[in-house]
Amino acid sequence: MQKPKLAAQRLLRAHERRETFAPLPPDLAPRTAEEAYAIQDRFVALRSDRLGAIAGYKIALSSKEMQEFVGVDQPQAGVMLESTLLRTPAKVRAMDYVRLIVEFEIAVQMAADLPAADAPYSRESVAPFVSAVMPAMEIADDRNADYAQLARHPLELIADNCWNEGAVLGAAVTNWTGLDLAAIRGVAKINGKPVGEGRGAAAMGHPLEALAWVANHLAAHGRGLVFRDVVITGSIITTKTVRAGDVVRFAIEQLGEVELRVD
């Protein structure tokens, strides 16, 4: 277990020094997904001293197009920490990130624990465990990554917690069961100008498919989603880079709107 510990310490230093995203040194780099998640666990534990306990999860590379771009054949999971989950309207400082990016997602909140022992889960079996659905914006920092090089080191994204720096959450919609979450449409705007739109189906065909994937991923590692955990289910619009002075809004029909101001 020494390698994950040393790799996580190296990642933490890279973040603190605002270094450009780059592969870990060969002796620390993950060779398998299991090694990458072991590094992520240690990295998240180090960050939790400052950012709080685990409060939810994200799914990255939820579309086949993004998986092919990065050179993997399945999504990747990351962890969200308590103090990084913000409520709309939210405000962050651009100077706190190397390069701030946002993604536009549907979030779900758990009504009860989802035991690992009951896996595998499906879209249908996770639905009764969802207390609320809401619009969300993921806050992430790609640290000026060279996207053209990601396919050469796809496991580094996992180790670096899939770049997550939190999320902005909208008002919880508890009467969601009558909604067609695959069909509902979301529109993103930056400074009042539309920058993209998409539907819930962009996240693995249905947001609850993404939730089931996260639940099964955790179960494979002996863990489970717990009461009040928040899961953001994958971007339905292409990622946007934002800068100081920007106001970002994301509205989903029948779910409401979230807003992020960047100082």
| pLDDT one-digit tens code per residue, 57-104 | 999 988 777 778 777 888 999 999 999 999 999 999 999 999 999 999
Coil/strand/helix, residue 196:
strand
Under DSSP, the state recorded for 114 is B
Q: How many CA atoms lie within 13 A of 232 on its CB side?
A: 31
CA–CA separation, 193 and 202 (whole Å): 22
> Average pLDDT of the chain?
96
Residue range 188-209, pLDDT digits in tens: 999 999 999 999 999 899 999 9
Residue whose C-alpha is closest to residue 58's, from 83, 72, 85, 77 = 77
The class level of CATH for 53-262 reads alpha beta
**Could you state, in order of their start, the residue ranges of all structural domains in the chain?**
53-262
- Which long-range contacts link 14-19 to residues 24+ away (Cβ below 8 Å)? 14/143, 15/143, 18/98, 18/143, 19/143
Alpha helices in the chain (DSSP H): 2-16, 33-51, 64-70, 123-126, 155-159, 207-220
Which pLDDT does position 90 carry in this prediction?
A: 98
Under DSSP, the state recorded for 128 is G
